[in-house]
A and B are shown apart, each in its own frame.
Chain A
Amino acid sequence: MDRDLVERARSGDQAAFADLVHQVSDTLFGIARRILRDPGLAEDVLQDALVTIWRKLPHLREPDHFEAWAYRILVNSCYADAPRNRRWALTVRVLPIDRASEADDYQSIADRDELEQAFRRLPLDQRAVFVLHHHAGLPLVAVAEVLGIPGGTARSRLHYATRALRAAFEASRARENLREGRLA
């Protein structure tokens, strides 16, 4: 992240903030979309978060920590906005047509559906840890720092999330094996 850009935005330079928004918005949108599993809601949350980031920028002490600080504001916006937007999200999925066999595609769809449902059942705080660690690539120590939680808490949230997803995944596989057994 360009430190100079952050400093200029922090001192009220709207053009610098616009540049900053263009640099970080896709990353932030990606994180919000994965935590919330709803692109429309993620868009609303992203807007809230970016305006909050603008308002609170003068409080940011270390411009080098901008990204982690922005993640924290985004995740807090997810926590704040998700409960009030329990709307049905339509997930449209496009699978590559020339990569795998039909059976593989079927399994892939089944796995993802199962993971999707399991992920939606997770509490938001577990989803946030999972996404920041596995998608944003932050080490658990950094995840804990971003979320303002102890390292042990981050670790246990990741553990519970992974366990739930794994259980769903294995259930999907078991069902598929059963189906293949019946067809065979």
Chain B
Amino acid sequence: MNDDQVFERATRAFLEDGSDRTPAAAIDAVLLAVRTTPQERDLRIPWRTAPMPKPMRLVAAIAIIVVVGVAAFSLLRPSPGVDGASTPSPAVSPSAPAPSPSTRPTPTPYSINTPTWTTYTSARYGFSIGYPADWSVHTRATRDWTYPADAAVNMYSTALETFVAPGDSIAAAAWSVAVKSGTTLDAWIQAYCPLAESPAPSDCTTMPGRTVAATMDGHAGSLVRFTQDTQAFFLVNDRIYVVAIWQPEDFIPGGVSRLLEAYLSTMHLLPGGPSPSGASPSPS
């Protein structure tokens, strides 16, 4: 056997090492995710493959000219109110202002009537949080959330306390992690941001228009509308608390933020803090 053959054999053996059997849990997680993940719409216009005959082209050109002409005429025609004869506007009674459709909140299809919610206590992470009565607890955390291994979001991670809506259409998760003393909330979010989304957003440092103030149990924090999900962050006693809704802001009428804020309004930190289970390193 010459050197090339020996090398080829060794390379083959190296490549064939190990099992290719996909773990069943991985497939289950994918199929579960698929149930709540909408497919993208294919908006591409199919290209015409057959050439159009000349008479048809002429007809099409005339039709386009007519349509454009009619549209231009209707746009450029002077409106009745332009030369002094203004159109009477509808009377507005100051005593009974009609609510503007733009200011009227759109109802969310999920219950934000938090007094009816069920309370869940996470001793591991040191908080209690409510979830809608018709939702279910999908995952109870069986290990600590760690940075950075868990930052690349796995929605079905066993490090998360996860709640799922009926039909698995949307899920919420909560966890906390110890950070080094002196870590700021903004610095932590900036370190977390590029890991939490794939591909990483280019504006993780500033996240303009995507971050708003939020409150949890009297603590100020930040609510971030990521591309794929919506998450809120709080720093209390060198510990970051995170609540996430695994859907983008526009997934539900009225916005996912409102649902997340409802979750936050039910959240309380346990007086004794989390049960001791080891601190995780800070990203800073």
Contact = CB atoms under 8 A, between A and B. Distances in A.
A39 B19 CA distance: 9
A44 B30 CA distance: 10
Interface stretch (B39-47, B126-134, B203-211, B272-280): B39-47
Given A14-B35, A21-B27, A84-B195, A47 B154 contact: yes
Interface string A30-66: 1001100001000110111011001111110000000
Interface in B142-200: 148-149, 151-152, 154, 194-195, 198-199
A67 interface: no
B15 A134 contact: yes
B213 interface: no
Nearest to B35: A14
Given A46-B26, A112-B14, A115-B10, A14 B42 contact: no
B244 to A, nearest CB: 17
A55 B40 contact: yes
B40 A58 contact: yes
A163 B22 CA distance: 31
Contact of A47 (B7, B14, B29, B151): B29
Contacts of B198: 48, 77, 80-81
Contacts of B44: 59
B37 A54 contact: yes
Contacts of B29: 47
A51 B18 contact: no
A55 B211 CA distance: 27
B33 interface: yes
A18 to B, nearest CB: 5
A58 B154 CA distance: 24
B6 to A, nearest CB: 8
Most buried by A among B22, B26, B152, B154: B22
A131 B17 CA distance: 13
A87 B22 CA distance: 20
A85 B23 contact: no
Nearest to B149: A87
Contact of A58 (B22, B30, B41): B41
Contacts, number: 106
Interface residues of A, number: 48
B15 A55 contact: no
Interface residues of B, number: 38
Nearest to A12: B39
B14 A58 contact: no
A93 interface: yes
A12 B30 CA distance: 15
A177 interface: no
A61 B20 CA distance: 29
B95 interface: no
B34 interface: yes
Contacts of B33: 47, 51
A165 B20 contact: no
A12 B198 CA distance: 23
B31 interface: yes
A29 interface: yes
B50 interface: no
10 contacts: A21-B31, A25-B22, A26-B20, A29-B20, A55-B38, A56-B39, A59-B40, A81-B198, A108-B10, A115-B11
Name the 9 nearest CB pairs between A and B, nearest first. Answer: A30-B20, A58-B42, A25-B22, A29-B22, A115-B14, A50-B30, A111-B10, A43-B26, A54-B34
Given A34-B15, A39-B18, 13 more contacts: A26-B22, A27-B20, A30-B20, A33-B20, A51-B30, A54-B30, A59-B40, A81-B152, A84-B194, A84-B195, A108-B10, A111-B10, A111-B14
Interface of A: 12, 14, 17-18, 21-22, 25-30, 33-34, 39, 43-44, 46-48, 50-51, 54-59, 77, 80-81, 84-85, 87, 93, 108, 111-112, 115-116, 119, 131, 134-135, 165-166, 169-170
